[in-house]
Structure 1
């Protein structure tokens, strides 16, 4: 039996995060270290070619309109067939004109962020492999994404932002940052964290990503 394949997609047509190379390196090491083949690409044509038969597709800080019509079809087919999706940070700033992507695949749409600063993540659900290793409060430095609408009620919220610990939050007491769901057919996991290159070398953040990846791949 061949190793499960993970496709890491990093195309940007909007803001491009300097942390993308560090993220590719992290997913490559996490995947290969856990028996998974990892392919990183920014080519929508290669995405179309490699998605069939893949276990999970990772959208790593993508931004703007990054998909062709064929790539959109391939992504929907992948999820409808039970394939997994992992969205990291800028993945929620992608394909604004395609409601299925924001609402059914990611689960929420980005709506601005304050300056990079330290704050606290409140872990609500410790029964998921992405958060099982964390305490109730996780100190982190990030951009603390706001979303146009809270996804709670449609998704399983794993962790939220404690807006009292930083400035610029606009969602109040219910500010989801990490969640998972199966609205698109397969398993979808999203984390709003991951702005900095340094985060991808943080052991807790790496375990967070690995938990999301293995859950989406049905390997957790």
Structure 2
């Protein structure tokens, strides 16, 4: 019996997170835990060729323009056919020249962040495998991404930032950080968390990612 595959894509043409190698390794381990093999690549042609046979694709702290025209077409077709998408942290800083990606794949577009610092994630929805294990208020250290628009009207918000718990937030009392949706056809999950290498060794964060992956692939 063949094992189904996911793709972990981490190409950057803008800012490059030092945590990417650690994150790729973690995603491969979590994929195996969920019963999948994982192809890790930063080659846009390899991504486009591999998408049609995959169960889901993880955009791990990608940045800038990372897809070819063929890759954009293939990703749109992949999602329309029910393929899954998981966006981690910098995925919202990706494909600014293709607005459909931010609006329909990730669900929102990055708009800056304050300094890396501790803060509190408020879990709003415990009926999802990415957040079911988390406390109502989860202490975490990250960059606390702001977005150009609030995605709440279009997505299912799973967790948000308590801006009173850190300095420099710009979205106010309603600041989504983690959400899921099916705007592009398949299941899309996005978490703004995951800036540091330490995140990918944190059991709670790893379970968060694993839950998102299970949901996006339909395995949950």
Shorter-chain TM-score tier:
over 0.9
Q: CA deviation at 1:206?
A: 0.2
- The gaps in structure 1 that reach 5 residues or longer are none
Task: Give the 4+ runs in structure 1 shifted more than 6 A.
Answer: none
Aligned-partner Cα distance in 2 for 1:45–1:7? 13
Residue 28 of structure 2 corresponds to 28
Aligned-partner Cα distance in 1 for 2:2–2:204? 29
Q: CA RMSD in A?
A: 0.6
Aligned-partner Cα distance in 1 for 2:2–2:54? 11
Q: Secondary structure at the match of 1:100?
A: helix
- TM normalised by structure 2 equals 0.99
Residue 157 of structure 2 corresponds to 157
Q: CA deviation at 1:33?
A: 2.2
Aligned-partner Cα distance in 1 for 2:71–2:40? 15
Q: Is it true that 1:219 corresponds to 2:219 in the alignment?
A: yes
Q: CA deviation at 1:111?
A: 0.1
Residue 86 of structure 1 corresponds to 86
Q: Secondary structure at the match of 2:78?
A: helix
| Count of aligned positions | 220
Residues 38-91 of structure 1 show CA distances to partners (whole Å, capped at 9, x for unaligned) of 000000000011111200000000000011000001100110000000000000
| Greater CA drift, 79-88 or 25-34 | 25-34
Residues 185-208 of structure 1 show CA distances to partners (whole Å, capped at 9, x for unaligned) of 000000000000000000000000
Residue 204 of structure 2 corresponds to 204
Q: Secondary structure at the match of 1:52?
A: helix
Q: CA deviation at 1:153?
A: 1.1
Q: Secondary structure at the match of 1:105?
A: helix
State whether residues 79 and 184 of structure 2, in contact with CA within 8 Å, keep that contact through their aligned partners in structure 1: yes
After the TM superposition, which residues 1-220 of structure 1 pair with which residues of structure 2 at under 5 Å, given as runs?
1-220=1-220
Q: Secondary structure at the match of 1:196?
A: coil
Aligned-partner Cα distance in 1 for 2:211–2:170? 28
- TM normalised by structure 1 equals 0.99
Aligned-partner Cα distance in 1 for 2:34–2:172? 38
Residues 134-168 of structure 1 show CA distances to partners (whole Å, capped at 9, x for unaligned) of 01000000000000000001000000000000001
